[in-house]
Each structure stands twice: as structure tokens, then as C-alpha cells.
Amino acid sequence: MTYKASKVRYSEMEYKRSGRSGIKLPALSLGLWQNFGGNQPLENSRAMVTRAFDLGINHFDLANNYGPPAGSAEETFGSIYKKDLVPYRDEMLISTKAGYYMWEGPYGEWGSRKNLLASLDRSLQRMGLDYVDIFYSHRPDPETPLEETMGALDYAVRSGKALYVGLSNYSAEQTQRAIDILKRLGTPCLIHQPNYSMLNRWIEDGLQHILQAEGVGSIAYCPLGRGQLTNKYVDRIELESKSPEASSLKPAALTPERVQKFRALEQFAAGRGQTLSQLALNWALREGGVTSALIGVSRVSQIEENVKALAYAPLSADELAEIDRIMHIIGDVPW
């Protein structure tokens, strides 16, 4: 069946400017990190991508190594794009990244000009695109000069293969240096993509201030703490805490205190009439949070639930203080 996008796709979604650029991002963006690889049914991936677009999510975030296997998420998106989305290309923001391992030899990962530009060419081929809207350095390279890595991003824009560039997983200090270099080259940094959630607030210790001062946007990945900030996880830790010897979770995640506090957070969300995942998204998108939040999903219903979070009232100062109290006691336990 030929896909035709909803005529009301922009009626409910919120859009926010990325820093001081001309680009506006949807409050929620769709990340194809998992569940869109070659090991998943194409029709399920297609249903999720097209439903997201119908709901106003016009930003699709990929990377060269997304799958599994690596590269297959871009191939999946390319198939969907060719079949359904070509007429809507100018409405979409499509991003990809390079920096993690992709092929053998000394140029198959990290931040050399050789790796980044070769990877971008391969990504464009897999997706069937002439250009991506955003090309990211996926991680800082401790051995390659930052000037070389940023020079490759600058060339990607000047060659017409990317419209904007971004950074991911860069520390505050690394981000400031990268922004300064890109500014001198004449290709400003559009956006930074950090891991950010109630459970991982590291960007508040310096990085957010730099991004705001430099007019750079931000988009959070793992805003649900890799699934920890969902009702499903709350039920899981409570169940597995009763039989810790059979649990797949780390022992530190199964303490009675942690179970109690996660349940308190779930109850707090219920008091607002929403799910825990919706609350976590409201929190990440609060004033002073991030420009957009990347959602990772495995079925259409999760997209619909996440989008409904945008209909709830912003968190009040008292509510934010209560969340801080709960999260301070929970602490951060790695997944």
C-alpha cells in the first residue's frame, strides 16, 4: 500500500530551535539505535517510522554502527525512505554519525579524516541519500588531533554531503575546544548529543552552560535510562528482587531501597495521570533541559505513548524538587 503522510502531522508536535541556528527540532526525535536492524522485520520498522512521521516526528537519528548488525539500521531506513518517504525529504532531518568500529584496519574507527569521510560515503549509500542533514563525530578520539576531526566535519558540509555538524559523547572541555575550532573553520556546531536522563545528569556540570553560551542545541539519548525509567522496569526490579539469585540485573539494582524509590517515582507519575516514561520525557524536556529527546522504541504503541507526554502540563518547581529528592536517594546504578 502506498504511504501518504497524515495531513495533520504538524498540528500537535512541539518544535524548538537548536541553539541560535535556523533549525527547529521536534520535542521528540526517533532514534534507530536498536530494533531497526537487519534482525528485525522490515514491516515493523516501517510501521514505526511512518507512524512517527505522522505524529510530527520529522527527525530520524542514525549512526553507521546501528543495527545489529552494524550498518543494517541505515539499510532499513534506506528501504523505508525509498518506498515511503522520498516525497517528504525536504520536511525531514536525517542524521548519522561515525567514530565507532565499522571495518578492519587502522581506518575503521575513531576520528581520522580518512575514517569519518569514508564512513559518511558508506552511510549515504546505505540510505540512498545525496546528503544528511546532520553529521556527527560520534566520540572523541584521544589520539587524533581535534583539528583533524573537526576539519573532516567542516569538509563534509563544504562538499555538500552534510548540511550541519554535531558532536556526541564529548566532555565539556572537549566540546568547547571543538566548538572553537569549528567556528574558526566557518562551520558552526549545530548540536550536541549526550546521554542524559534523571539517572545520568552529567551534562549539568558544565556542558549545558557551554552549549547555552555558544548557541548550540542539545538532543538527549537514553532519556529513559535504557529502559529503567519505565513502568515495565519498575515491575521487573520488584519481581526479580524477590529472587535475586535468578535475576539478570546487577545486585545493586535489587536493593529494597531502590525498589521502594522506583515505585515512589512511578506513583509520583501516576499522580500526574501519566506513565513513568512520560514523566521522564517531561523532565528531560523541562526548561533548562534539552532541545529534543531521542526515543528508542520496539513497537508503534510506544511512540504513541511517548508523544502523549507532550500534552501534560510542565513540571512545577515543587514537582521538580520532589523528583530530585526521590532520585537523590535512588542513586545511579549502571544498566
User: Which one-letter amino acid corresponds to residue 129?
Assistant: L
Question: Which domains are assigned to the chain?
Answer: 15-226+276-313 (3.20.20.100)
pLDDT digits (tens, 9 = 90+) for 176-221: 999 999 999 999 999 999 999 999 999 999 999 999 999 999 999 9
DSSP 260: H
pTM of the model: 0.95
Specify the pLDDT at position 246: 66
Locus of grid cell 532499513: 76
333 pLDDT above the threshold of 70: no
pLDDT digits (tens, 9 = 90+) for 62-98: 999 999 999 999 999 999 999 999 999 999 999 999 9
Specify the pLDDT at position 334: 42
User: Which one-letter amino acid corresponds to residue 174?
Assistant: Q
* Alpha-carbon gap, residue 33 to 69, rounded angstroms: 11
244 pLDDT above the threshold of 90: no
CA distances (Å), origin 240, targets 59, 254, 261, 323, 326? 37, 7, 15, 24, 21
Specify the pLDDT at position 330: 58
Is the CB of residue 132 less than 8 Å from the CB of residue 97? no
Q: Within 13 A of 99's CA, how many CA atoms are on the CB side? A: 25
pLDDT digits (tens, 9 = 90+) for 98-134: 999 999 999 999 999 999 999 999 999 999 999 999 9
